[in-house]
Amino acid sequence: MKRHLLLIFTVICIGIIIPCKVHAVDVTVGATTWYVWSSEGGDVDPGFLIGPAASIKFTHDYNLTFVYLYGKFTATTESGDNFKIKRHDSDLALNYKLNKYSKVFGGIKYIGLSSKQEVESDAYGPGLGLSGSYPITKNLFALGYVSVFYLWGVKDYADDGKDYFNNCGFNSNLSAAYYIASASTAVSLGWRYQYFIGIKDDNNKKFYGVTIAATYTFGSLL
């Protein structure tokens, strides 16, 4: 069933959007970065995750968001050897507007890791959360979200086969965004915290750090 999560989510999105009378489609695209520290401390150096961010607003109440982040980190073994860890962090979510300040969202989360010890580690599963936006001044806004997720994963070792695992976790972000109306562009600065709980073991991990994003909104496309 987990292999069909993305397909099921896509069908749900289409089923919601098609019956709605679409007058216009607003598209927002941009880039985002997250400078990350991890709970491994000195074993893994902090580093940047960077990638695209996009949003498609189909109706007054619904919009689809996508964020993909990728980065490389330097880690140190107990013997003092250094090696690289590659990380992918992606979210696809359908958002529903509850009121002028808040939205509820649900979607699919993917986490991918690779290093010389673990050839590849992939985990994906459903997530659910709540986001909010509150105007401070005419062009300055406070933004935030909290979400929970459950992931199925597999580690593919070079010589020792595969190891299956499950994680649940928690995401949160708080930021300030400034909207430049003349350029239809928003820039934001914030703080993100991510926590993983190992279901089959005590391999709990946390990631935290500064986020920076810039996005541009196209006018109505239809």
Is residue 127 assigned to a domain?
A: yes
For residue 23, being part of any structural domain is answered with: no
Dist CA 112 CA 128 (whole Å): 20
Mean residue pLDDT of the chain comes to: 85
Give backbone dihedrals phi and psi of 136, rounded to 5 degrees, phi first: -95, -50
Residue 20 or 45, more confident? 45
Distance from chain centroid for Cα 6: 15
How many structural domains are present in the chain? Answer: 1
pLDDT of residue 51: 95
Model confidence band, residue 107 (pLDDT cutoffs 50, 70, 90): very high
pLDDT (mean) for 17-28: 64
Residue 44 is given by DSSP the state B
Domain assignment present for residue 25? The answer is no
Distance CA 88, CA 72 (A): 9
Flag whether 6 is in a domain. yes
CATH of the domain at 198: 2.40.128.100
**Within-domain flag for 35:** no
29 within some domain: no
Average pLDDT of 166-191?
Answer: 94
Burial 146-158 (b: 16+ CB within 10 A, else e): ebebbbbbebeee
What is the C-alpha radius of gyration for the chain, rounded to an integer number of angstroms?
19
pLDDT tens digits along 124-153: 999 999 999 999 998 999 999 999 999 998
Mean pLDDT value across residues 8-20: 53
Question: For residue 155, how far is the Cα from the chain centroid?
Answer: 21
Give the structural domain span for 161: 2-17+43-217
Query: Is residue 24 situated within a structural domain?
Result: no
